[in-house]
């Protein structure tokens, strides 16, 4: 059983876009889910046709191993300027596909005007998990560019250097880039059947973590699986949903878990976006989320001049 499943940039964004469109039908967040579907389709186009990013050298891989850090560590990795060009191409495609009367056009157009220095500053805050000074309107678009860049970096590095990513001493974060997960996935098929993998919010790599273990504190006691009806106090149903919150009574953290065996079409980032109500109810119940979804951020933000 592999400890790490690499991202597949050629297909992952297309599959995410398809799932977002499926989830958007009749959803209260339909407009936002459809916007993110357009963003994912633009990511897919760039993943197929854009130039490959510069990969880490053997020396960089060795230095990261010696330091016990992820090779593509999000905070501190010297980004190839190529990512900005790819991001601008991505935003142009989103604008081309947006209806003329879409309320999202103004925000996308404003993001497109960001100069390189401002764009890099916003990217640094996103990667470091800093919401103060982060422009929440452009953050999901910038995150899409970073996801595209890191997914291609991780996939390319694994293809060129199969042993580049050593198991991390911190199994709660991605061994490739050190980022938090968006959700965990119980998989189906072959040797992966029933196994749980954490899904990286940034590079889309997946790393194995045994089931019934807290993804934050790694405790095995006090783990519960709560669905919308559980947290909302609704009458239970016989069939458990494909998306649940895995909560820990020890540290009071949670992370959503996505069960492919209950719905073969689930996609961690798309399904996480479509179940924001589960986050709100888990928060009301006193749980703090371990992990993030870079396409929808919450927090107190204070935009700086020129970034709003």
Residue 37 inside a domain? The answer is: yes
222 and 98 housed in the same domain: no
Whole-angstrom Cα distance, residue 127 to residue 201? 10
Residues 188-204 as b or e (16 or more Cβ within 10 Å = b): eeeebeebbbbbbbbbb
Q: Evaluate if residue 306 carries a pLDDT over 50.
A: no
Structure confidence by residue, pLDDT tens digits, 137-157: 999 999 999 999 999 999 999
CATH of the domain at 69: 3.90.1670.10
38 and 150 housed in the same domain: yes
Structure confidence by residue, pLDDT tens digits, 199-218: 999 999 999 999 999 999 99
Phi, psi of 126 (to 5 degrees): -60, -50
Q: Which helix (H) or strand (E) holds 16?
A: helix 9-24
Residue 153 inside a domain? The answer is: yes
Residue 294 inside a domain? The answer is: no
Whole-angstrom Cα distance, residue 295 to residue 94? 15
9 and 96 housed in the same domain: yes
Residue 26 inside a domain? The answer is: yes
Q: Euclidean distance between the first and final Cα of the chain, in Å? A: 47
Residue-number span of the structural domain to which 191 is assigned: 181-289
218 and 86 housed in the same domain: no
Taking the CA atoms of residue 137, residue 228, residue 127 and residue 107 in that order, the dihedral angle to the nearest 10 degrees is: -10
188 and 271 housed in the same domain: yes
Confidence at residue 222, expressed as pLDDT on a 0 to 100 scale:
96
Q: What is the pTM of this model?
A: 0.93
Map tokens 């936002």 to a residue. Answer: 32
Tokens, residue 296: 């929808």
Residue 265 inside a domain? The answer is: yes
171 near 219, Cβ under 8 Å? no
Q: pLDDT-based confidence at 162, cuts 50/70/90?
A: confident
9 and 105 housed in the same domain: yes
Structure confidence by residue, pLDDT tens digits, 64-85: 999 999 999 999 899 999 999 9
21 and 132 housed in the same domain: yes
Whole-angstrom Cα distance, residue 41 to residue 22? 14
Residue 275 inside a domain? The answer is: yes
Phi, psi of 4 (to 5 degrees): -135, 130
138 and 254 housed in the same domain: no
Give every CB contact of residue 1 below 8 A, 6+ residues apart in sequence: 191, 192, 195, 208
- How many structural domains is the chain composed of? 2
Map tokens 């396409």 to a residue. Answer: 295
68 and 198 housed in the same domain: no
Q: pLDDT-based confidence at 294, cuts 50/70/90?
A: very high
131 and 244 housed in the same domain: no
DSSP state of 55: P
Residue 306 inside a domain? The answer is: no
> Which one of 105, 129, 160 terminates a domain?
160
186 and 108 housed in the same domain: no
148 and 48 housed in the same domain: yes
Whole-angstrom Cα distance, residue 219 to residue 268? 23
Residue 176 inside a domain? The answer is: no
Confidence at residue 303, expressed as pLDDT on a 0 to 100 scale:
35
Whole-angstrom Cα distance, residue 291 to residue 264? 23
266 near 278, Cβ under 8 Å? no
Q: Evaluate if residue 262 carries a pLDDT over 70.
A: yes
């Amino acid at each position: 059983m592999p400890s790490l499943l690499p991202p597949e940039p050629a297909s992952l964004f297309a599959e995410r876009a398809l799932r977002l469109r499926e989830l958007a039908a009749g959803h209260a967040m339909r407009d936002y889910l459809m916007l993110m579907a357009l963003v994912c389709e633009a990511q897919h186009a760039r993943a197929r046709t854009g130039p490959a990013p510069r990969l880490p050298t053997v020396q960089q891989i060795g230095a990261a191993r010696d330091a016990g850090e992820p090779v593509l560590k999000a905070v501190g990795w010297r980004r190839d300027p190529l990512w900005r060009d790819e991001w601008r191409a991505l935003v142009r495609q989103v604008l081309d596909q947006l209806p003329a009367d879409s309320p999202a056009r103004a925000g996308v157009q404003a993001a497109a005007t960001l100069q390189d220095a401002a764009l890099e500053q916003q990217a640094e805050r996103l990667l470091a998990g800093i919401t103060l000074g982060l422009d929440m309107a452009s953050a999901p678009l910038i995150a899409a560019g970073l996801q595209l860049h890191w997914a291609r970096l991780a996939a390319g590095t694994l293809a060129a250097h199969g042993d580049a990513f050593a198991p991390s001493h911190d199994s709660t974060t991605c061994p490739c880039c050190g980022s938090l997960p968006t959700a965990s996935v119980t998989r189906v098929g072959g040797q992966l059947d029933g196994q749980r993998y954490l899904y990286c919010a940034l590079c889309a790599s997946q790393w194995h973590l045994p089931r019934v273990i807290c993804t934050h504190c790694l405790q095995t006691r006090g783990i519960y699986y709560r669905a919308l009806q559980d947290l909302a106090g609704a009458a239970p149903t016989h069939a458990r949903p494909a998306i649940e919150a895995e909560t820990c009574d020890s540290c009071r953290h949670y992370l959503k878990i996505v069960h492919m065996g209950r719905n073969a079409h689930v996609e961690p980032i798309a399904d996480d976006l479509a179940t924001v109500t589960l986050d709100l109810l888990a928060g009301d119940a006193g749980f703090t989320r371990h992990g993030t979804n870079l396409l929808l951020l919450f927090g107190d933000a204070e935009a700086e001049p020129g970034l709003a």
